[in-house]
A and B are shown apart, each in its own frame.
Chain A
Amino acid sequence: MRRLAALCAVLALTLAAGSGCGSGGVRYSHGRVEVRLWHSMSGVTGDALKKIVDGFNASQSEYTVVPIFQGGYADSLKKLVSSLDTSSMPALIQLDDIELRFMVDSHAIAPAQDFVDADARTPGSHPANLADFEPRALDYYTLNGKLQAMPFNLSGPVLYYDRDVFAQAGIDHPPATLDEVRADAQRLLLRNPDGSLKRNGIALSINGWWLEQMMAKQGALFANNGNGRQGLATKVLIDSPAGIAVLSWWQEMVQSGLATNVGTSGLQSLLAVVTGKSAMAIESVSALRAIVLALGPASARLGVAPMPAPPAPDNSGGMVLGGAAMWIMKDRPLAEQRGAWEFLKYATQPQVQAQWHYDTGYFPVRVSSWDLEPAASLHRQYPQFAIAHDQVVRSPRNLATAGAVIGPFTQVREYEQTAFEQVLVGGKTPQQALATAAKDADRAIARYNRSVR
């Protein structure tokens, strides 16, 4: 008899281990609707997000937002995909820009536009004032005529440079085009007495994003069908003159020793500038806040300028406003979705965004945040932020600068990266490398498009 009881206990334990799943009803926490937020903000940015969440939770008594760090965007997306159609899905998830098409195709999201429209129909609601949102961010996340996700943290690439070194070389302004980068790099090279290089012109990391941005700066489309915004993209256009111009410059710079290739880690290129090994680097503006925090007043030496690129005909080119956005998941109960939307409206208030910008260096999503404290004092102390932002507001709004929309964008980026590696260390010409990358990318896009139809 006792043995039977032991057997039952063992069985019960084993089965319990396998059955952690429950139903998908509304989650409550202390009588409030619980809204789970999966995010990828850690360190300084994680603390800043926590501040926003705490502020929202204290501002009302209906919802509790619970932020859950899920690793990088790719890790978070991976977990989301495995949680689809289960009760462990969050109500809200932060994902990077390039997942736009993928998320829309998942049919698992509720477009932000639906909540904007619902607010407009509901008397007494406090609708989001989209007129005050950075229009380029809305452009990016608008697909099929609808705002799909709420832009949250905005960033873009910039040129970082060592102002002291520029001054010593007698260069009074940072380079704006790739030709100017080459000319400046020649003057900035520094050799040791034995002839070896002590400092090179620019540290370049390998990242498909640079190619995408430099094509947009030339006013060129990255993918067909209006960058995938007028119809489903079926081809990438990287083997065009605009793409070849970028990779040819890259190859020439690295092979002549004017630039150093630091591989795929962006951190390495910034490290090269900070340690004096390179005079310039191209990196995301989102690194700026961390650098300023680490270096303090010494960071005055670090200059920031718009990312250089081949000039665009008749000012048709500009930066693609990248970063990440918040997505509301439609399979969570409506109460949680409403809570998620209320949180997003709170998180994008001008005052909240001014603080977010101050804490993290991400561009605020609200136009009016720019002149509010503490953002304004940050710009007085570190004019680099204002310079980086200029690049955003000067960008024309068109299909090229709205950015490409492609389903398997992560895979396409890998092929772009391979093209960079092929020209830098694989002995291929830019034309060959980009043609191969385009062919591989087109095949991945075709496979993807077929599988979601």
Chain B
Amino acid sequence: MSGEATVGRRAGSRRAQAIRQTVAAAPFLLPSLVLFAVFVFYPLVRSIWLGFHATDPFGRNEVWVGTAQYHDVLTSSDFRHSLLVTGQFALYTVIPATAIGLYLALLSHRRLPGIVVFRTIFSSTVATSVAVSSVVWLLMLNPSVGVLNYILGKGGVPTESWLTSPTWALPAVAMTTVWMNIGFATIVILAGLQNIPEELYESARVDGAGRWSEFLHITLPGLSPTLLFVSVVGVIFAFESFGQIQILTQGGPLGATNVIVYSIYREAFLHYNIGLASAQAVVLFVIVLLLTLLQFGVARRWVFYR
């Protein structure tokens, strides 16, 4: 059946074909739909439901409490503090990880013998689990036997109890997260660089453009969809961070690293206030949704798609 023949048909028959296609596709979509329903949609609906109910610590005796728990969450100074910490954490992680990833990608984009070795090293953190890298950083940040303070001490810089200081704990956790995210950022940006047509650089060079001018007018605009993607994913990573907080600081000291996800975890699985935790989770869901929409709104205006 050729393309022209299909175009010539009446709309009714096209609808019939669409229905047939949907029916044919349904069984193939079903497994993933069922998995989505079980692991995403059901928990989501259940969280919203639980946000409106108080239970005993064992999740029994559900009692309708209306919006009381949402009110508790939104007016609680602890929750606002968690929100602020999460925002700071996103700021401290997304910008450095994207910048360093961009730098490393530019370095390793050149065609040089053995460059693959460097590309592998730069992107290797993507293959390291959060738990493993957190444990390694925990040892490096140890105030008495850690290598970081040892190096700082040798260099005459004052040493610090990184993870127990309310000032330094969040930057320290952010630093480990940046390290973890560099690999991902580098790989994605490197792929983005390879998508920029070589001819653009060639004609720019013919026109006498310098390296800086090339970067500013060809590389950056060409990379803008990639950079947007890396930063959106980075923000979502930041809002979902849990492993490194659990291993490095458990939200402390004085709540300095108590990001929202960790606060939800504490409320649900250490305090067993399941309704309150669900209300927090729903609020977080709305915030991430809004942020994502906002970022894509910005994208439509600023990002250069070919």
Contacts and interface: CB of A to CB of B under 8 A. Distances in A.
Given A74-B270, A425-B166, A262 B143 contact: yes
A425 B254 contact: yes
Nearest to A6: B27
Contact of B31 (A14, A262, A264, A451): A14
B164 A262 contact: yes
Contact of A410 (B27, B143, B270): B270
Contacts of A271: 142, 144-145
A422 interface: yes
Contacts of B266: 414
B269 interface: yes
A448 interface: yes
A452 B145 contact: no
Contacts of B253: 263-264, 421, 425
A14 B252 contact: no
A164 B164 CA distance: 30
B269 A447 contact: no
Interface stretch (B54-62, B100-108, B193-201, B211-219): B54-62
Nearest to B270: A410
Given A106-B58, A426-B166, A418 B254 contact: yes
A10 B58 contact: no
B57 A268 contact: no
A452 B57 CA distance: 7
Nearest to B250: A264
A18 B252 CA distance: 38
Contacts of A425: 164-166, 253-254
A411 B271 contact: yes
B32 to A, nearest CB: 9
Interface string A1-29: 00000110011011101100000000000
A277 B144 contact: yes
A81 B254 contact: no
A84 B161 CA distance: 42
Given A407-B57, A452-B57, A272 B144 contact: yes
A451 B286 CA distance: 28
A408 interface: yes
B133 interface: no
Interface in B45-66: 54-61
B270 A411 contact: yes
Contacts of A407: 57
B58 A7 contact: no
Contacts of B28: 10
A275 interface: yes
Given A84-B58, A264-B252, A425-B253, A10 B143 contact: no
B38 interface: yes
Interface size class of chain B, counting residues whose CB lies under 8 Å from the partner chain: 35 or more
A444 interface: yes
A78 interface: yes
B51 to A, nearest CB: 16
Given A263-B164, A408-B271, A451 B54 contact: yes
Contacts of B165: 425
Contact of B161 (A261, A408, A410): A261
A10 B255 CA distance: 48
Given A18-B38, A411-B271, A425-B254, A452 B164 contact: no
A417 interface: yes
Contacts of B59: 81-82, 84
Interface in A230-264: 261-264
B56 A451 contact: yes
B163 interface: yes
A12 to B, nearest CB: 11
Interface in A195-231: none
A263 B34 contact: no
A115 interface: no
Interface string A141-165: 0000000000000000000000000
Interface in A271-286: 271-272, 275, 277
Contact of A451 (B27, B35, B57, B142): B57
A397 B145 CA distance: 41
B272 interface: yes
Nearest to B254: A421
A448 B54 CA distance: 11
Contact of A81 (B57, B166, B252, B273): B57
B1 interface: no
A15 B163 CA distance: 46
A382 interface: no
A411 B276 CA distance: 14
B140 to A, nearest CB: 14
Contacts of A17: 35
B34 A444 contact: no
A102 interface: yes
A140 B303 CA distance: 65
A11 B30 contact: yes
A441 B38 CA distance: 37
A2 to B, nearest CB: 12
Interface in A48-90: 74, 78, 81-82, 84
A426 B61 CA distance: 39
Given A81-B57, A411-B270, A421-B252, A263 B31 contact: no
A102 B269 contact: no
Contacts of A264: 164, 250, 252-253
A7 B166 CA distance: 57
Nearest to B163: A263
Contacts of B57: 81, 102, 105-106, 407-408, 448, 451-452
Contact of A275 (B144, B250, B269): B144
B271 A410 contact: yes
Given A7-B27, A15-B34, A277-B144, 20 more contacts: A6-B27, A10-B31, A11-B30, A13-B31, A14-B35, A17-B35, A84-B58, A84-B60, A105-B56, A106-B57, A108-B58, A262-B164, A263-B161, A271-B142, A408-B272, A421-B252, A421-B254, A425-B164, A444-B271, A448-B57
Which 10 interchain pairs have the tightest Cβ spacing?
A263-B164, A7-B27, A451-B56, A411-B271, A421-B254, A14-B34, A78-B269, A421-B253, A14-B31, A277-B144
21 contacts: A11-B30, A14-B30, A14-B31, A14-B35, A81-B57, A81-B58, A82-B59, A84-B60, A102-B57, A262-B161, A262-B164, A264-B253, A268-B144, A418-B254, A425-B165, A425-B166, A444-B271, A447-B273, A451-B54, A451-B55, A451-B57
